[in-house]
Amino acid sequence: MALQAESAHQGTSKPKVAVTRKIPAAGLDRITASCDAFVWPDPMPPPRDALLRAVAGCEGVVTLLTDAVNGEFFDAAGPQLKVVSNFAVGFNNIDVAEATRRGVRIGNTPNVLTDATADMAFALLIAAARRIVESRDYVLAGKWKTWEPEGHVGVDLWERTIGIVGMGRIGMAMARRCRGGWGMRILYHDRFANEQVERELGARRVEMDELLGESDFVSVHTDLNETTRGMFNSGAFAKMKRSAVFINTARGPLHVHADLHAALRDGTIFAAGLDVTDPEPISMSDPLLSLPNCVIAPHIASATVSSRNGMAEIAADNLLLGIQGRSLRCPVNFQA
Ligand code: DGY
């Protein structure tokens, strides 16, 4: 009932905003207290026509990574739109250039999910390397009959080499776990050198081919854009060790789905751990789901209490500052 009450514009003199999904109260309560807020009440995303109707006449919108924010969205919202506050650190769902052209501020939610995401990447790394999910399925299927000297053999982690693609905040947090906890050698590939990670963790910046060829684990932490889309394709997988484990907690389209399937099926690489797929959700008939060497989670890397509350707080701050025409707490554009 409370949700239904929240979900219609009240027609007050408060600024009109839309929130495209129910987000944690840590942010939502402040938004509904100070704005005439429409909150989409369903757990599933609004259909496109409903989204476009919901944003019409709004000064600010809180969006999720499942909402495409583009020219059509801005046209539907109208010229009074001041801010789009994305409830995510990634913003590949938003046409930022178009927003900037129209003078709409864009905000995101960095930092608060860095450690949670790195934890998830490492959890997937161990799960895939040590065949944990596959072994659990084996137990549940009643196949565990005895201790098997050559059964369920995985790959070692201690003092191996991790290749990190994208050495930003999350890549660095992943590097710290790999170096500090498991004594790994760190290779990384990034457009920019990260002196801190080189100094603190002895990481070495290398070309992509060297990273692929030398790493026991390859973990991708880069953003999705037209340069990075599909960067993990059959050519990349062919350059990796046959014992390698591929981890993607960033965005599904960074890897070519069919090529990853072929690489796992044919033994080109040993295993993969994915928190993201393309598309999301993955189809239940997708052949990747039948491969025992692929661990898949439903995009949950930021799903911890403190991360999601932190994201909601920043999303609310960005929205409320934006409708006042002020600089956002975490701006994507208009950063000056
Ligand atoms: C993000 O924030 O971009 C994640 O993918 C969801 O938390």
* Chain segment 53-62, per-residue pLDDT in tens: 999 999 999 9
Q: What is the pLDDT of residue 7?
A: 52
Q: What is the pLDDT of residue 9?
A: 72
Residues 99 and 302: their CA atoms lie apart, in Å, by 26
Share of the chain above pLDDT 70, in %: 97
Give the pLDDT confidence of 144-179 residue by residue, as tens digits: 999 999 999 999 999 999 999 999 999 999 999 999
Q: What is the pLDDT of residue 6?
A: 44
Is the Cβ atom of 93 under 6 angstroms away from ligand 1?
Answer: no
Query: Could you tell me the two tokens for 264?
Result: 């796992």
**88: nearest Cα among 247, 278, 276, 230:** 276
What's the gap in Å between 135 CA and the centre of ligand 1?
29
Give the pLDDT confidence of 17-42 residue by residue, as tens digits: 999 999 999 999 999 999 999 999 99
290, with CB counted inside 10 A (0-12, 13-18, 19+), is: exposed
Eight-class DSSP state of 46? P
**Distance in Å from the first CA to the final CA of the chain:** 43
Question: Which of ligand 1's atoms lies nearest the C-alpha of 303?
Answer: 7
Pocket test for ligand 1, best of 69, 117, 311 (most atoms within 8 A of CB): 117
Could you tell me the pLDDT band of residue 318, with boundaries at 50, 70 and 90?
very high
Q: What is the pLDDT of residue 12?
A: 76
What DSSP string describes 194-257?
A: -HHHHHHH--EE--HHHHHHH-SEEEE-PPPSTTTTT-BSHHHHHHS-TT-EEEE-S-GGGB-H
Q: How high does pLDDT run on average in the chain?
A: 96
Residue 336 pLDDT > 80? no
Strand partners, 272: 246, 294
Residues 65 and 87: their CA atoms lie apart, in Å, by 7
Is the Cβ atom of 250 under 6 angstroms away from ligand 1?
Answer: no
Query: Domains of the chain (ranges plus CATH)?
Result: 16-112+305-323 (3.40.50.720), 114-296 (3.40.50.720)
Is the Cβ atom of 90 under 6 angstroms away from ligand 1?
Answer: yes
Element (H, E) at 130: none
Contacts of 133 (CB under 8 A, 6+ apart): 127, 295
Q: What is the pLDDT of residue 8?
A: 64
Is the Cβ atom of 89 under 6 angstroms away from ligand 1?
Answer: yes
- Whether 191 is catalytic is no
Is the Cβ atom of 113 under 6 angstroms away from ligand 1?
Answer: yes
Query: Could you tell me the two tokens for 209?
Result: 């081919």
Given a contact cutoff of 8 angstroms between Cβ atoms, the answer to whether 130 and 156 are in contact is no
Question: Which of ligand 1's atoms lies nearest the C-alpha of 88?
Answer: 2
Q: What is the mean pLDDT of residues 74-102?
A: 98
Give the pLDDT confidence of 210-266 residue by residue, as tens digits: 999 999 999 999 999 999 999 999 999 999 999 999 999 999 999 999 999 999 999
Question: Which of ligand 1's atoms lies nearest the C-alpha of 301?
Answer: 7
pTM of the model: 0.95
**122: nearest Cα among 157, 81, 93, 76:** 157
Pocket test for ligand 1, best of 21, 112, 113, 120 (most atoms within 8 A of CB): 113
Determine which residue's CA is closest to atom 6 belonging to ligand 1.
Answer: 88
- Whether 280 is catalytic is yes
Residue 4 pLDDT > 50? no
What's the gap in Å between 266 CA and the centre of ligand 1?
31
- Whether 9 is catalytic is no
User: Where is pLDDT greater, at 11 or 240?
Assistant: 240
Is the Cβ atom of 45 under 6 angstroms away from ligand 1?
Answer: no
Pocket test for ligand 1, best of 64, 89, 119, 304 (most atoms within 8 A of CB): 89
Q: What is the pLDDT of residue 297?
A: 98
Q: What is the mean pLDDT of residues 80-93?
A: 98
Determine which residue's CA is closest to atom 3 belonging to ligand 1.
Answer: 90
Residues 13 and 35: their CA atoms lie apart, in Å, by 9
What's the gap in Å between 14 CA and the centre of ligand 1?
30
